[in-house]
């Protein structure tokens, strides 16, 4: 055979090997669109109606026709335990919703994004700093946020107008000065109108534990040790606890709350509380309780001398199960829902929840109703919680022990700190 014929036969052989590698997927980036991998993904969520996710799934499938997604809305009361049981049995979903405080407790159930699929710098450019605190504290991304809610201040406009208060307070110091003007106390010391829903435990104030934690963070308190082996919030947190509980102390000039009052949401809806603090999802609830309630929502109060403002977050994200057989497809679906302006915007508009995507936050800041929450997303700060449900109860019991006189500030906060540290030690085993 001639030299030319040998070269020609060699080239044909190389081409055969090349196309065989493409067909077998060894060179997956060169496969044609018709050869894309198909997958069926299961998603577990809470609070969101299936119709919301169906809209997102339909949009996603326009560009990913080979991916089927089945969304299941779980019972919000039993969701976490259902998730734990399913993971233990190996029958859980490919994708599940995760609360922003859950990473220390459930990271072993999640399949993190690789540094190649989602570099940390790209992650930081997409979402506010608090999302990294919660979902990527060590630089590895475990989940992506669907939205980002924060505590804000709700105030009764009619009460403020009747008392000649033209502008709602911006600082805690201003709130203190307004208490005598806003509250109403009868002749035997009962609160007929609370100036502010502050000072009580979770038994009477919705999100009392969150409000107290927010005060601690605003004061610069380090909630845990840097190595996450123990709680440290008694160092400085005692001042926040003292300030918070003074509003329920009959002997203090800012006394304005009693545990015997109606639950804070109901008391505010009835027009018997001038100020309360809560998240954006309470707006429709308040309107359903009292369609005639004239209220406004403004930014969460700050400490007048604070070096920088701090807001307190509460939100859910999506994570891929460590047991999923379709991890790549699941991560691609999550990224599309949370990083695409179109899909993330559809979710935010459908649920009326504040956007977590930076590019959408900028567009939502001037929204007359939800702009407050958008603006606070960028200053939100969190803290690692080994078990958020248990810590919520511990903080509530800490508050209750002080206002009921069972223990002083020092004893109450140190007991709470030791209980949280014990949870951390148990988790580490």
For the CA atoms of 90, 96, 101, 104, the dihedral, rounded to the nearest 10 degrees, stands at 30
Q: Which of 212, 188, 189 is nearest to 200 (CA)?
A: 212
The predicted-structure confidence for 5-20, as pLDDT tens digits, reads as follows 444 444 444 444 444 3
CATH 3.40.50.720, domain 150-312+383-428, yes or no? no
For residues 23-31, average pLDDT: 36
The predicted-structure confidence for 40-53, as pLDDT tens digits, reads as follows 999 999 999 999 99
Confidence class of residue 30 from pLDDT cuts 50, 70 and 90?
A: very low
Distance CA 41, CA 330 (A): 7
Share of the chain above pLDDT 90, in %: 86
Report pLDDT for 37: 75
Report pLDDT for 2: 52
Hey, what are 100's tokens? 């922003």
Report pLDDT for 36: 61
Report pLDDT for 243: 98
The predicted-structure confidence for 325-384, as pLDDT tens digits, reads as follows 999 999 999 999 999 999 999 999 999 999 999 999 999 998 888 899 999 999 999 999
Distance CA 314, CA 382 (A): 9
Report pLDDT for 190: 92
How does strand 95-99 pair with strand 39-45? parallel
The predicted-structure confidence for 377-412, as pLDDT tens digits, reads as follows 999 999 999 999 999 999 999 999 999 999 999 999
Report pLDDT for 428: 76
Least confident of 127-141, 157-171, 362-376: 362-376
Region(s) of the chain under CATH 3.40.190.10: 35-149+314-377, 150-312+383-428
In sequence order, the 6+-apart residues with CB closer than 8 A to the CB of 48 are 73, 351
Hey, what are 99's tokens? 């609360």
Q: What is the pTM of this model?
A: 0.89
Share of the chain above pLDDT 70, in %: 92
Confidence class of residue 224 from pLDDT cuts 50, 70 and 90?
A: very high
Share the mean pLDDT of the chain: 91
**Taking a C-beta distance cutoff of 8 angstroms, is the pair 419, 394 a contact?**
yes
Taking 80 as the threshold, does the pLDDT of residue 156 lie above it?
A: yes
Report pLDDT for 16: 40
Gyration radius from the chain CA atoms: 26
Report pLDDT for 244: 98
Homologous superfamily of domain range 35-149+314-377? Periplasmic binding protein-like II (3.40.190.10)
Q: Which of 57, 70, 130 is nearest to 100 (CA)?
A: 130
């Amino acid at each position: 055979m001639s030299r030319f014929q040998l070269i020609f036969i060699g080239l044909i052989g190389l081409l055969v090997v090349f196309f065989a590698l493409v067909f077998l997927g060894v060179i997956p980036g060169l496969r044609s669109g018709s050869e894309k991998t198909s997958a069926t993904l299961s998603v577990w969520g809470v609070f969101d109606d299936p119709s919301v996710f169906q809209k997102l799934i339909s949009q996603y499938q326009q560009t990913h026709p080979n991916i089927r997604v089945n969304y299941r809305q779980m019972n919000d009361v039993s969701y976490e335990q259902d998730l734990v049981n399913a993971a233990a049995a190996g029958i859980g979903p490919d994708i599940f919703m995760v609360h922003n405080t859950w990473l220390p407790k459930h990271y072993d159930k999640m399949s993190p994004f690789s540094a190649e699929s989602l570099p940390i710098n790209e992650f930081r450019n997409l979402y506010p700093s608090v999302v990294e605190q919660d979902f990527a504290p060590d630089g590895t991304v475990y989940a992506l946020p669907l939205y980002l809610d924060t505590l804000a201040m709700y105030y009764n406009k009619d009460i403020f107008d009747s008392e000649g208060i033209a502008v709602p307070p911006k600082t805690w110091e201003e709130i203190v000065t307004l208490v005598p003007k806003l509250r109403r106390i009868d002749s035997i010391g009962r609160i007929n109108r609370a100036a502010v829903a502050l000072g009580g435990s979770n038994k009477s104030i919705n999100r009392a534990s969150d409000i107290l934690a927010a005060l601690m963070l605003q004061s610069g308190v380090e909630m845990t040790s840097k190595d996450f082996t123990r709680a440290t919030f008694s160092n400085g947190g005692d001042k926040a606890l003292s300030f918070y509980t003074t509003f329920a102390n009959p002997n203090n000039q800012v006394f304005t709350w009693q545990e015997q009052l109606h639950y804070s949401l109901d008391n505010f809806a009835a027009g018997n509380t001038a100020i309360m603090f809560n998240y954006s999802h309470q707006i429709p609830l308040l309107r359903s309780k009292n369609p005639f309630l004239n209220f406004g929502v403004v930014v969460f109060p700050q400490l007048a001398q604070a070096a920088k403002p701090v807001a307190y977050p509460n939100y859910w994200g999506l994570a891929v199960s460590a047991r999923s057989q379709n991890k790549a497809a699941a991560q691609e679906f999550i990224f599309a829902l949370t990083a695409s302006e179109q899909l993330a915007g559809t979710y935010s508009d459908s649920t009326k929840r504040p956007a977590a995507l930076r590019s959408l936050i900028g567009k939502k800041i001037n929204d007359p109703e939800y702009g407050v929450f958008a603006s606070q997303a960028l200053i939100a700060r969190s803290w690692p919680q080994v078990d958020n449900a248990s810590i919520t109860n511990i903080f509530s019991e800490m508050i209750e022990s002080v206002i009921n006189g069972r223990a002083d500030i020092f004893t109450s906060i140190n007991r709470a700190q030791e209980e949280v540290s014990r949870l951390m030690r148990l988790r580490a085993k």
